[in-house]
C-alpha cells in the first residue's frame, strides 16, 4: 500500500470520505488497483486490431469501445498510426451515450469541443454525430492544438475545423452552436490512479483556482450557444466545488436547465441530480469522470447580431479536374485555397467555414489535399488518412516490420511489394489501411511519412 495510488493527499481523502461514507474503503481499494486500458474504434476505419487477442470486454457506453486485458505498445501498432482507434479512458466514452440520446443520425448539428486537446472527445463527437454535422475542435494552448490537429487528421473526417482560440473569442459567433462540450481544466482528482503527477499538483488552493476558471469559461462561451442548445460540461475530478456546485451556479446565473439522460441502472453510475453523472473506480470500470447535460432556455429575443464572414478562394475549373481523381463524393465537395494549400470541404459546410475563418484562428479545415504544381497534385498526409480518399490510387501493402520501417521514415526502396509499383505517388498500407504516401522515381522510393510524426525509438 505504499505506491503512489494510495499515497493520496489527506485533505482529498477526508473530502472523499465525507462524500462516499460507507463506500470509502471500497474506493481506496479501487484506487490501489491498476487502471483499466480501453480503446475506441474509428467508426469508418474498422479493422482487425493487432492485439485483438487481449480484447477483454466491450465498454457499455458505446459499441465502439473495448477494454483490453493488458496495455500493448500502441506506438508499435501501425493501425494506431492509421487512425483505426483511439486510446481513451472508458468513463469518458459515456459522452457517446449522451449524444445518441440527444440526437439522431439524421440531425445536422453544429458542435464545438471547446477544450479539445488531445482529441479523444472530438473524435468521439465525429463518430456519434451525423455526417451532416459540423464540428469545431478548439484548443487554447498552441502546442496542444497541434496534437489535436494530428489526432483529428488521423481520424480522417472532413466535417471539422481545428481552431486555437480563447473561450472569449467565440463571442464573435453569437447563437452559432447547437451543442457545446466543455471538458473543463480541473484539479484532476479523477486521474490520481492513472497519473502520479496529478497527485503532486493537487491542493485546496488549486481546486479554488480551477473552480473560478471553470465559471469564467462557461460565462465566456454561453453567448455562442443557440437558445435551446445543449451544453455538456465535464471534468476528470470528484470535487463537488468543480462539479455539482458549479452546475447549480451555472443554472442560477445563466438560465440553464438540466437535461435527463436515460441510463441503465446496471451501469451503476452515481447521479447526484438529474443530468449529473459521477463515475467512481469502485463502481465503474474507469477513472473519476464527471459530466452534466444542460440546455440553454429559449428566449423571445433571438440574437440577430451580424456574424462576420469571409469570402473563400475557390479553385479554378482546371484545378478541380485535377483534384477529382483523388477523392470520393466529388459532387458534394468544394475545393478552396488557404494560403498555398487546397482543402476539400463539403458544400453543406461552406457557410460554417466562412464564419470560422472570419472570426477565429483556424489551423485545420476539412481535408488538406495539398498543392497543385504544373497541373499535378502534390498530396498531403491528411489526404492519405482521409476516409474520403478514392480507392483507385495505387497501393503497396506492407507487412508488420515493413510498416514499422515506414513509420520510422526509413528507406523503403528495397521492399518487394514496391518493385511492381509504377513511377509516381502511391499509398503505403498495412492490413489494407492507409499509413501515408510514398513516391517512386526509377529505382528510388521516397518515404513521405511526416517527419514530426515518425516513430523515434
Catalytic member of 186, 236, 291, 362: 236
What is the CB neighbour count within 10 angstroms for residue 25?
A: 11
> What's the DSSP call for residue 389?
B
Of 25, 235, 219, give the one whose Cα is nearest residue 115. 235
**Which residue, chain included where needed, has cell 480522417?**
156
Phi and psi for 373 in degrees, rounded to 5?
-125, 125
Of 265, 341, 263, 351, give the one whose Cα is nearest residue 310. 351
- Coil vs helix vs strand at 48: coil
- Coil vs helix vs strand at 318: helix
**Which residue, chain included where needed, has cell 518515404?**
447
CA distance 283 to 299: 40
Q: Write b or e for each residue in 109-131: b if 16 or more Cβ atoms lie within 10 A of its Cβ, otherwise e.
A: bbbbbbbbbbbbbbbbbbbbbee
CA distance 292 to 275: 5
Q: Write b or e for each residue in 378-405: b if 16 or more Cβ atoms lie within 10 A of its Cβ, otherwise e.
A: ebbbbbbbbbbbeeebeebebeeebbbb
- Coil vs helix vs strand at 66: strand
Catalytic, 236? Answer: yes
* Catalytically active residues, by annotation: 236
Amino acid at each position: 500500500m505504499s505506491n503512489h495510488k494510495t499515497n493520496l493527499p489527506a485533505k482529498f481523502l477526508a473530502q472523499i470520505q465525507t462524500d462516499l461514507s460507507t463506500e470509502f474503503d471500497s474506493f481506496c481499494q479501487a484506487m490501489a488497483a491498476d487502471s483499466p486500458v480501453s480503446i475506441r474504434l474509428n467508426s469508418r476505419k474498422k479493422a482487425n486490431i493487432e492485439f485483438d487477442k487481449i480484447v477483454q470486454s466491450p465498454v457499455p457506453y458505446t459499441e465502439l469501445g473495448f477494454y483490453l486485458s493488458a496495455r500493448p505498445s500502441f506506438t508499435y501498432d501501425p493501425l494506431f498510426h492509421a487512425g483505426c482507434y483511439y486510446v481513451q479512458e472508458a468513463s469518458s466514452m459515456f459522452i457517446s451515450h449522451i449524444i445518441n440520446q440527444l440526437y439522431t443520425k439524421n440531425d445536422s448539428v453544429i458542435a464545438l469541443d471547446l477544450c479539445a486537446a488531445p482529441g479523444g472527445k472530438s473524435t468521439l463527437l465525429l463518430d456519434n454525430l451525423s455526417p451532416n454535422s459540423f464540428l469545431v475542435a478548439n484548443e487554447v494552448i498552441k502546442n496542444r492544438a497541434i496534437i489535436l490537429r494530428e489526432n483529428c487528421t488521423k481520424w480522417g473526417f472532413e466535417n471539422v475545423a481545428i481552431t486555437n482560440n480563447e473561450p472569449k473569442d467565440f463571442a464573435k459567433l453569437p447563437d452559432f452552436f447547437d451543442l457545446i462540450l466543455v471538458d473543463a481544466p480541473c484539479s484532476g482528482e479523477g486521474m490520481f490512479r492513472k497519473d502520479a503527477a496529478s497527485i503532486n499538483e493537487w491542493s485546496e488552493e488549486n481546486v479554488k483556482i480551477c473552480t473560478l476558471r471553470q465559471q469564467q469559461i462557461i460565462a465566456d462561451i454561453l453567448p455562442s450557444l443557440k437558445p435551446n442548445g445543449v451544453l455538456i460540461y465535464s471534468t476528470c475530478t470528484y470535487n463537488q466545488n468543480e462539479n455539482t456546485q458549479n452546475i447549480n451556479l451555472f443554472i442560477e446565473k445563466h438560465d440553464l436547465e438540466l437535461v435527463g439522460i436515460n441510463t441503465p441502472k446496471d451501469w451503476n453510475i452515481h447521479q447526484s441530480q438529474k443530468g449529473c453523472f459521477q463515475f467512481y473506480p469502485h463502481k465503474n470500470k474507469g477513472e473519476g469522470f464527471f459530466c452534466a447535460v444542460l440546455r440553454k432556455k429559449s428566449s423571445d429575443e433571438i440574437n440577430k447580431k451580424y456574424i462576420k464572414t469571409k469570402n473563400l478562394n475557390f479553385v479554378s475549373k482546371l484545378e478541380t479536374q485535377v483534384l477529382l481523381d483523388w477523392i470520393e463524393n466529388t459532387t458534394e465537395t468544394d475545393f478552396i485555397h488557404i494560403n498555398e494549400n487546397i482543402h476539400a470541404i463539403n458544400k453543406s459546410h461552406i457557410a460554417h467555414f466562412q464564419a470560422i475563418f472570419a472570426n477565429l484562428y483556424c489551423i485545420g479545415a476539412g481535408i488538406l489535399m495539398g498543392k497543385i504544381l504544373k497541373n499535378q497534385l502534390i498530396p498531403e498526409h491528411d489526404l492519405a488518412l482521409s476516409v474520403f480518399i478514392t480507392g483507385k490510387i495505387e497501393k503497396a501493402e506492407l507487412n508488420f516490420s515493413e510498416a514499422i520501417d515506414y513509420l520510422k521514415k526509413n528507406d523503403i526502396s528495397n521492399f518487394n511489394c514496391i518493385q511492381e509499383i509504377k513511377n509516381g505517388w502511391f499509398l503505403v498500407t498495412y492490413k489494407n489501411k492507409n499509413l501515408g504516401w510514398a513516391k517512386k522515381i526509377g529505382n528510388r522510393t521516397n518515404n513521405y511519412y511526416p517527419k514530426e510524426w515518425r516513430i523515434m525509438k
